[in-house]
Structure 1
Amino acid sequence: MKMNKYMIYFRKIMGMLLLVTASFVVANAQGRVTLQDQPNATVNLDEPLDLEESIGIALRNNPQLKQAELQVQSNGNIYEQSKWQRWPSLSFSASQGFSLGRNVDPFTNQFVQQNIAFNNYQLGSSVVLFGGFQTQNTIKQNSLTLQASQKDLAATRNDVMLNVALGYLQVLSNQELIEVARQQVEATRLQLERSQRLVQAGSLAESALFDLRAQQANDELSLVNAQNNLESAQLSLKQVMNLPGNQEIRVEPMNVGDPSLRAYDATVQEIFETAIQNLPQMQAAKLRTAAAAQAVEVARGARLPTLLLNGGVNTAYSSAAPRERFVADGSGSRTMEVPSASRFIMTNGIRVPVVDVVTIPNGAVRQFGYFDQLDFNRNASFNFSLRVPIFTNYQTRYQISNARIQQMNTEYQGQIVLLQIRQNVEQAYIDMSNSAKRYVATLNQVQAQAEAFRVAESRFGVGAINSAEYNIAKANLDRSRANLVQTKYDYVFRTKILDFYMNRPLTE
């Protein structure tokens, strides 16, 4: 009676386990998100791109970013699987066998001289009741590792965004340099036309025209070089965005403020403190240190005992079992031939059991088929298993030691990341400050060179100076204007880096 209760209870447990397992498989199949499921926003490349659209294209097309996403998914699977380690395992096994000659009948456990076919079926389950808290600590460790990989993904995104911002500003810078070069060509052309009129009027020597034509050729070469530099900058931007080189793109200009009119609104220390709180690489380093600490606890758990609960349901079939079975139902008597379990005779050197004729009252003979035998042979079992580690050849000891070493390594790695952030912030701030100073100095230089060129142009028009002196004044002005454009965008990029450390959007 007790065995029947146990079997009913065990059947309920197995049914619940099968239901939970099936539910998990269905939920996992329906809830899994892959990279291919993510929709991609379409961008019209025939229209000018702003910085936000350029960053969006680069984020969607960057293969390193997709690898980081896959790593997050992999760590997520590891974390989810570790949580399921708390649940019992469930397995089913079946076997088919054949035995020839003298055998033990699996049904009666008696020796028989015949060929036997048999089947065995087993449904088993096992659960760890106590495992030194290794499962719980492993779940925490995998959770921290998953979060660290998510921060790595964010850091990779930031790198892509910074590279796009740099390429975008380089394109804008070269576009302005082209405009400066065109203005230089136009100014030289107009001066050449005025000089030709002066030569025709006899007010200027004809030799001055040769110098101006040479200057015009130099200005046209500068324009070609500026156009080539723009194409190179556009190619670099397209490569960062992972677009083909023959793809035509245009970028929208940005509203760039005057660096001489404002100072950055945060100190170096404020930028550093904000950076270490928000930068994903710093957060990832902290999470890995915490994960390493959990790995030490996992290794320590191997010193503690492990308690398991095992259970199973078994049944078997044998072809040597009788095809008929007497069932007591009060319907009458029945005579049956039953092999003796204790009396045997020797026939041709073979031991054969004596067959007794037995009369069994109040019953009937019924067919005993395949599934009837499986049901008759069904049995269940439970057992507890305790493992106490006493001496493991110092494996646990050195595993703990290595886990502690790894923890110290992650701590030092976190210090390295912190030091790199401080150095990068300090360098970025001084670069921004110096760039602003260079812009102010270059702006003053442009104003001075513009005035000097205005005077030289007037004196050249009346023949007070020669064409060489005029060309020197114009070249100085052209060079200072180009430097002003470059220093302006250099300042903008340095400011964007500080905005990045201050957790501000790059697109503003």
Structure 2
Amino acid sequence: MAEISRLSQNGGCRFKYLLTLTLEMHMNMRLLPYLRLSAAGLALAALLGHPSVFAQTAGTPPAASATPGEGQRVPQRLGLQTCIDIALQNNLTLRQSQIQLRNSELQLRQARLNRLPNVGAFLTQGYNSGRNINPVTNAFVDQGVLSNNFQASVQATVYNGGLLQNTIKQNDLLRQSNEATVKATENNVILTVIQQYLNVLTGQEQLVVAQRQRDVSVAQLDRTQKLVNAGSLAEAELFVIRATIANDELAIVNAQNTIELAKLALLQAMNVPAGGPTTSSFEVETVNVPDPTVTPYGTTSDDVFGVAQQYMPDVRAADLRVKSDAFGVQVARASLFPVVTLNGNLSTLYSNVGLQRRFDLGTVTNIDQTILVNGIPTTITTQQPNYRFENYTFFDQLGNNLNRSVSLQVQVPIYNRSLARTRILSAQLQQQNSEIAAANTRLQLRQNIETAYTNLRAAGNRYQATLAQVTQLERAFKVSESRLNAGALNSTDYNVAKGNLDRARAGLVQAKYDYVFRIKILDFYQNKPLNF
């Protein structure tokens, strides 16, 4: 900081001009080029060997990027892994977790750097006019005095109650907790994408089922038309079949709408605006999901929970945060202990009216002096050597005035308005809150596993029942179709049989994917790969 001040002196129009340049140099120095000083300031900068000045500066944070997914176009054909990659790239919650992780890494780095000594430098240049004190001789002089003062100091912490080490451990555990949080967020994003992807596949299979049923109705219309032409059936039967085809077309439209909504949900899970690529402009790759065989799951819910506690990153993140807050209590306790610091100082100064160097010229000057000896005037001649005086150079004065000092400082806390006790209690409450949060995380995990296990059994029972229903309805429909072709069944009863079969087949597709997804959920809790 450069500052020029004009001080009024008492009893005259003398002024004091002071130019002060303060330089703080820390361990993390950055070179600040192009620092412009006044003429006196440039002279001081030249003493440092470079016109630049060191100062501590903070790193510039990266500029905020555009909204993820904005203007992004997806491929015309998307696979499951591609959808997952896009979602992980665009998810905002994941980005927040990653930024929090980077911040914890910076905090850990700074905590480690805090163990290093603090180094600083201080220098001043001043000019005093009028009656002043020579800073070198401490004598009064009635002339302008140009002076410089240079100081360098170093301070190292010897003991502070374990504050530095415990802070490093606390920040390291916090960093590990944030890493686990990032992984937990990634898992949530992946599960959401898989679920939405399976919803699209479910809609596509239901569309295929609806189209097949429409084709069956069209074929039945042709057969009914032939029977009507032959006089075996009344013409009213054609209207019933045409109404059935209209219902099948409506089912196809509903299935297509379901696919569009499922695709929209998939795009939103990937954080890709639907206003760019429309939902009909891309297709998803079909995943070969064979018809499952319903068997009891090989692991109980308690066993799944026991394995999940070891692998689930959200549980690990909660446990690490508890350990981090435990070290936070130790950090707060450090304020109860003395702080021992080792200080070193190096200083020197220069003045244009400082002491002068004396050189003997080798000659003498005779000085006559008359004194009274027993009342008689007597002349006495004395010889005085002749000297030549010369000012010490700038660097000579800096070397002659060099001062070194080392000190050990002990700061003992006696009473600070219970600030330390309050910090300790606050840290303990934070630790208790983290412990409750960890217990709640385990509780939610157990409840989710129990719910998933129950849903799996329910989905298996539903799939088995629906599969049996479809088998029986297919047999009944074949009989109804044969009877209709033979003229022994009216179109109304035929449509009832066909409608029951259509609904059962659509329900079977949904039950199939629901059962497969429930299995994958329990596999996920056991750290098994989510492949199909």
CA pair 148-326 structure 1, distance change in 2 beyond 3 A: same
- Candidates 226, 249, 262, aligned match of 1:197: 226
Query: How is 1:406-417 mapped onto 2 (pairs within 5 angstroms)?
Result: 406-417=430-441
Q: Measure how far apart 1:306 and its partner are.
A: 0.9
After superposition, the C-alpha distances for 1:202-259 in whole angstroms (9 at most, x for unaligned) are 1111101111111111111111111111111111111211223243332222232433
CA pair 195-124 structure 1, distance change in 2 beyond 3 A: same
Is the Cα–Cα contact under 8 Å of residues 26 and 118 in structure 2 kept in the other structure?
A: no
Q: Measure how far apart 1:95 and its partner are.
A: 2.6
Q: Hey, what does 2:240 align to over in structure 1? A: 211
Q: Measure how far apart 1:332 and its partner are.
A: 4.4
Q: Hey, what does 1:5 align to over in structure 2? A: none
Q: Secondary structure at the match of 2:408?
A: strand
Query: How is 1:104-123 mapped onto 2 (pairs within 5 angstroms)?
Result: 104-123=133-152
Query: How is 1:304-323 mapped onto 2 (pairs within 5 angstroms)?
Result: 304-321=337-354
- Candidates 440, 447, 451, aligned match of 2:475: 451
Aligned mates of 2:142, 2:302 — CA distance in 1? 93
Is the Cα–Cα contact under 8 Å of residues 466 and 508 in structure 2 kept in the other structure?
A: yes
TM-score, normalized by length of structure 2? 0.79
Is the Cα–Cα contact under 8 Å of residues 260 and 439 in structure 1 kept in the other structure?
A: no
Q: Hey, what does 2:484 align to over in structure 1? A: 460
Is the Cα–Cα contact under 8 Å of residues 333 and 364 in structure 1 kept in the other structure?
A: no
Is the Cα–Cα contact under 8 Å of residues 474 and 501 in structure 2 kept in the other structure?
A: yes
Query: How is 1:80-479 mapped onto 2 (pairs within 5 angstroms)?
Result: 80-245=109-274, 246-247=276-277, 248-321=281-354, 325-326=356-357, 332=362, 365-366=389-390, 368-479=392-503
Aligned mates of 1:243, 1:448 — CA distance in 2? 44
Q: Secondary structure at the match of 1:442?
A: helix
Aligned mates of 2:516, 2:364 — CA distance in 1? 106
Q: Secondary structure at the match of 1:108?
A: coil
Q: Secondary structure at the match of 1:235?
A: helix
Q: Hey, what does 2:94 align to over in structure 1? A: 65
Deviates more, 1:244-253 or 1:216-225: 244-253
Q: Measure how far apart 1:284 and its partner are.
A: 0.9
Q: Measure how far apart 1:483 and its partner are.
A: 0.3
Q: Measure how far apart 1:384 and its partner are.
A: 1.0
After superposition, the C-alpha distances for 1:14-43 in whole angstroms (9 at most, x for unaligned) are xxxx998679x9xxx99x99999xxxxxx9
* Equivalent AA in structure 2 for residue 239 of structure 1: Q
Deviates more, 1:435-444 or 1:241-250: 241-250
* Equivalent AA in structure 2 for residue 220 of structure 1: E
After superposition, the C-alpha distances for 1:105-145 in whole angstroms (9 at most, x for unaligned) are 21221122233333322211111101011111111111111
Q: Secondary structure at the match of 1:260?
A: coil
Aligned mates of 1:320, 1:187 — CA distance in 2? 115
Q: Measure how far apart 1:327 and its partner are.
A: 5.5
Q: Measure how far apart 1:288 and its partner are.
A: 0.9
Q: Hey, what does 1:504 align to over in structure 2? A: 528
Unaligned runs of 5+ in 1: 1-17, 37-42, 336-357
Moved >6 Å (runs of 4+): 32-36, 358-361
Is the Cα–Cα contact under 8 Å of residues 177 and 482 in structure 1 kept in the other structure?
A: yes
Identity of aligned residues (%): 42
Q: Measure how far apart 1:471 and its partner are.
A: 0.9
Q: Measure how far apart 1:414 and its partner are.
A: 0.9
Q: Hey, what does 1:343 align to over in structure 2? A: none
* Equivalent AA in structure 2 for residue 439 of structure 1: Y
After superposition, the C-alpha distances for 1:76-101 in whole angstroms (9 at most, x for unaligned) are 01011101111111112223334343
Q: Measure how far apart 1:66 and its partner are.
A: 1.7
Q: Measure how far apart 1:370 and its partner are.
A: 3.4
Q: Secondary structure at the match of 1:74?
A: helix
After superposition, the C-alpha distances for 1:484-503 in whole angstroms (9 at most, x for unaligned) are 00011111111121111010
Deviates more, 1:377-386 or 1:239-248: 239-248
CA pair 108-222 structure 1, distance change in 2 beyond 3 A: same
After superposition, the C-alpha distances for 1:362-410 in whole angstroms (9 at most, x for unaligned) are x865553434333333222211110111222221122212211111111
CA pair 312-476 structure 1, distance change in 2 beyond 3 A: same
Q: Secondary structure at the match of 1:120?
A: strand
Deviates more, 1:420-429 or 1:56-65: 56-65
Q: Measure how far apart 1:430 and its partner are.
A: 0.7
Q: Secondary structure at the match of 1:326?
A: strand
CA pair 359-380 structure 1, distance change in 2 beyond 3 A: farther
* Equivalent AA in structure 2 for residue 215 of structure 1: T
Is the Cα–Cα contact under 8 Å of residues 237 and 491 in structure 2 kept in the other structure?
A: yes
Is the Cα–Cα contact under 8 Å of residues 294 and 460 in structure 2 kept in the other structure?
A: no
Aligned mates of 1:475, 1:364 — CA distance in 2? 126
Higher relative contact order (CA 8 A, sep 6+): 1
Is the Cα–Cα contact under 8 Å of residues 334 and 364 in structure 1 kept in the other structure?
A: no
Is the Cα–Cα contact under 8 Å of residues 26 and 120 in structure 2 kept in the other structure?
A: no
Q: Hey, what does 1:341 align to over in structure 2? A: none
CA pair 193-101 structure 1, distance change in 2 beyond 3 A: same
Is the Cα–Cα contact under 8 Å of residues 439 and 484 in structure 1 kept in the other structure?
A: yes
CA pair 327-224 structure 1, distance change in 2 beyond 3 A: farther
Greater helix fraction, Structure 1 or Structure 2? 1
Aligned mates of 2:111, 2:352 — CA distance in 1? 44
Q: Secondary structure at the match of 1:237?
A: helix
* Equivalent AA in structure 2 for residue 72 of structure 1: L
What is the root-mean-square deviation in Å for CA atoms of aligned residues? 2.9
Paired residues in the alignment total 455
Aligned mates of 1:179, 1:318 — CA distance in 2? 98
Q: Hey, what does 1:490 align to over in structure 2? A: 514
Is the Cα–Cα contact under 8 Å of residues 173 and 320 in structure 2 kept in the other structure?
A: yes
After superposition, the C-alpha distances for 1:130-182 in whole angstroms (9 at most, x for unaligned) are 10111111111111111111111111111111111111111111111111111
CA pair 327-494 structure 1, distance change in 2 beyond 3 A: farther
* Equivalent AA in structure 2 for residue 62 of structure 1: N
Aligned mates of 1:493, 1:482 — CA distance in 2? 17
CA pair 436-223 structure 1, distance change in 2 beyond 3 A: same
Q: Measure how far apart 1:442 and its partner are.
A: 0.3
CA pair 113-446 structure 1, distance change in 2 beyond 3 A: same
Q: Secondary structure at the match of 1:383?
A: strand
Is the Cα–Cα contact under 8 Å of residues 122 and 314 in structure 1 kept in the other structure?
A: yes
Is the Cα–Cα contact under 8 Å of residues 357 and 392 in structure 2 kept in the other structure?
A: no
* Equivalent AA in structure 1 for residue 89 of structure 2: R
Is the Cα–Cα contact under 8 Å of residues 51 and 507 in structure 1 kept in the other structure?
A: no
TM-score, normalized by length of structure 1? 0.83
* Equivalent AA in structure 2 for residue 69 of structure 1: Q
Aligned mates of 1:259, 1:313 — CA distance in 2? 81
Aligned mates of 1:120, 1:422 — CA distance in 2? 70
Aligned mates of 1:334, 1:205 — CA distance in 2? 156
